[in-house]
């Protein structure tokens, strides 16, 4: 090894974690990004992540948080549709919880409500 082999912010535990298939699945990727926005608002994860690979390492670490590390990749188109539907429902629940939390904090600031 030479000095250039050592990066400034090297984290060996992240380098050994295998990439989960959810990181490459379109809807699974949005679910992971939504959970990452909830867990780590300081990262400023965009609302529509798309093919942006910048957050892949962090999203891979979110998979166990959601309890999806043992979920197998869909084998057929029908299984993919069912899996995507489950992910969309979970995204909606996460987004609704964030909106509700924002509304409660806004309401708690003492603003006068219309009567």
Residue 100 forms part of a structural domain: yes
Question: Per-residue confidence at 115, pLDDT binned at 50, 70, 90?
Answer: low
Task: Give the pLDDT of residue 54.
Answer: 83
Residue 2 forms part of a structural domain: no
Give the domain range for residue 59.
9-107
Residue with tokens 């974690």: 17
Question: Per-residue confidence at 21, pLDDT binned at 50, 70, 90?
Answer: very high
Interatomic CA distance for residues 28 and 91, integer angstroms: 9
Residue 113 forms part of a structural domain: no
Q: What is the pLDDT of residues 30-65, one digit of tens each?
A: 999 999 988 888 888 887 777 778 888 888 999 999
Structure-block tokens of residue 85: 């539907």
Interatomic CA distance for residues 69 and 62, integer angstroms: 9
Is the full-model pTM beyond 0.85?
A: no
- Average pLDDT value for the chain: 81
């Amino acid at each position: 090894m030479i000095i250039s082999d050592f990066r400034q912010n090297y984290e060996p535990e992240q380098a050994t974690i295998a990439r989960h298939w959810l990181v490459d699945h379109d809807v699974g990727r949005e679910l992971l990004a939504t959970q990452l926005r909830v867990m780590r608002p300081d990262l400023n994860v965009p609302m529509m992540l798309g093919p942006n690979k910048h957050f892949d390492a962090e999203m891979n670490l979110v998979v166990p948080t959601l309890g999806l590390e043992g979920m197998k990749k869909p084998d057929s188109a029908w299984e993919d549709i069912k899996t995507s539907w489950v992910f969309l429902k979970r995204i909606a629940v996460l987004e609704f919880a964030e909106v509700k939390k924002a509304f409660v904090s806004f309401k708690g600031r003492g603003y006068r409500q219309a009567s």
